[in-house]
Amino acid sequence: MKGRVLLIEDNEQNRYLLTFLLTRHGYHVESACDGRSGIDQAKTEVPDLILLDIQLPTMDGYAVAMALRQIPSLDRTPIIAVTSYAMVGDREKALSSGCDGYIEKPIDPDTFVAEVERLCGLAHAGWEGA
């Protein structure tokens, strides 16, 4: 197994697609439907990577990223925003809130996992065998 991914995404179809793609490439995926439960899961499960939608109910992804960055056990955990927010400044806002990378939706299923790995530098971060 390559690593444990926490997917924080409220859209069921997006959760299914991203989970399918990641598990097909050897990742173990847990998911949360909203920011608060994602934060709670991250505290207890301490994933190797967090994929975070920005447009979430009750607590947006920017606030979630900032909250996750306050948890000492997650200070080195890559957080990648996977979002349909693609206006000027959205990428910068995601990065300034604590995300390490940004992928626009709709994602390309053929390149998504490679893009996540590129953004995280997974091969160099010792994920193999995690």
pLDDT of residue 47: 95
pLDDT of residue 88: 80
Q: Mind listing the domains of the chain with CATH numbers? A: 3-123 (3.40.50.2300)
Plot region of 46 (φ>0 → left; ψ -120 to 50 → alpha; else → beta) = left
Beta bridge partners of 3: 27
**CA 67, CA 95: separation in Å to the nearest integer?**
14
- pTM of the complete model beyond 0.75: yes
CA nearest 126: which of 48, 52, 27, 71? 48
Q: Could you read off the pLDDT tens digit of each residue along the chain, which spans 130 residues?
A: 689 999 999 999 999 999 999 999 999 999 999 999 999 999 999 999 999 999 999 899 999 999 999 999 998 899 999 999 778 888 999 999 999 999 999 999 999 999 999 888 743 444 444 4
